Amino acid sequence: MSLLRIVLAGEGGQGVQSIAEILAEAAYNENKQALYIPNFGLEQRGGVSIAFIQFSDQRIGAPKFNKGDVVIALSERAIPRTAHYSGPETLFVYDASIQVDEDLLPKQAKKIIPIAALDTANNKLHPRVFNVIIMGAVIGLTGAVSFESAKTALEHKLAAKFEKDPSLRDLNFEALELGRYMAEESLKEGAEANA
């Protein structure tokens, strides 16, 4: 695979850094090169939490980058905070529940995609798997890692919780699958419109 760059941004507590770490670890376990770095300034305490992830077959250079292949903003203020990471080749994703100020959306993007992750989490699954839906969406949009290694990495990260409550495993895997499905569907929608 050639270099793939992803930006995930949301509020503290939305679990952005957790899924970034799991995705990077899943890629590493597939023997890919992976690099993950959180923003760690004071803004992370009460500001927008941003994760930068890169995947490649080859050695990865600088830890950060100008434009992402996929940029996902999960809160209202995460949109203006990440819009400049979107370029002509970027899939810019935001949660469909956000009341979007059109002016704040990126000026450049290959496609701007609302995904109803929060709504799906709250109404179909459980609010706590919101971030796992997003993780599934990243896989659906990019194929950064295989679905199986994503599940393995999730299992590894959440082993203690799964052991306590095995139903959480199914819930998380369902969230992952739904996220992937929603992302794949969203890409098809565009293709149909273009056709």
**Residue 24 interacts with another protein (CB under 8 A)?**
yes
Calculate the alpha carbon distances from 157 to 14, 62, 76, 150, 164 in Å: 16, 27, 28, 11, 14
Please identify which residue in 2, 13, 46, 62 interacts with another protein, judged by CB under 8 A.
62
Question: Token pair of 69, please?
Answer: 């292949």
Instruction: In angstroms, give the least distance from the CB of 84 to another protein.
Output: 13
85 is a site residue for another protein (CB under 8 A) = no
- What's the number of CA atoms in the CB half-sphere (13 Å) around residue 73? 28
Using DSSP's 3-state secondary structure scheme, residue 144 falls into coil
DSSP state of 36: E
Q: Which is nearer to another protein, 62 or 195 (CB)?
A: 62
> With left for phi above 0 and alpha for psi between -120 and 50, is residue 92 left, alpha or beta?
beta
Residue from 18, 33, 56, 152 in contact with another protein (CB under 8 A): 33
Residue 17 tokens read as 């850094």
* Nearer residue to another protein within complex by CB, 9 or 129: 9
Select the residue interacting with another protein from 41, 46, 88, 127 (CB under 8 A). Answer: 41
Which range touches another protein (CB under 8 A), out of 60-68, 107-115, 124-132, 167-175? 60-68
- Residue in the block written with tokens 């919780």: 161
From 4, 7, 8, 35, residue interacting with another protein (rule: CB under 8 A): 35
> What is the rounded CA–CA span in Å between residue 195 and residue 190?
9
Least Å from the CB of residue 29 to another protein: 8
Positions touching another protein (CB under 8 A) are 21, 24-25, 28, 33-38, 40-42, 60-66
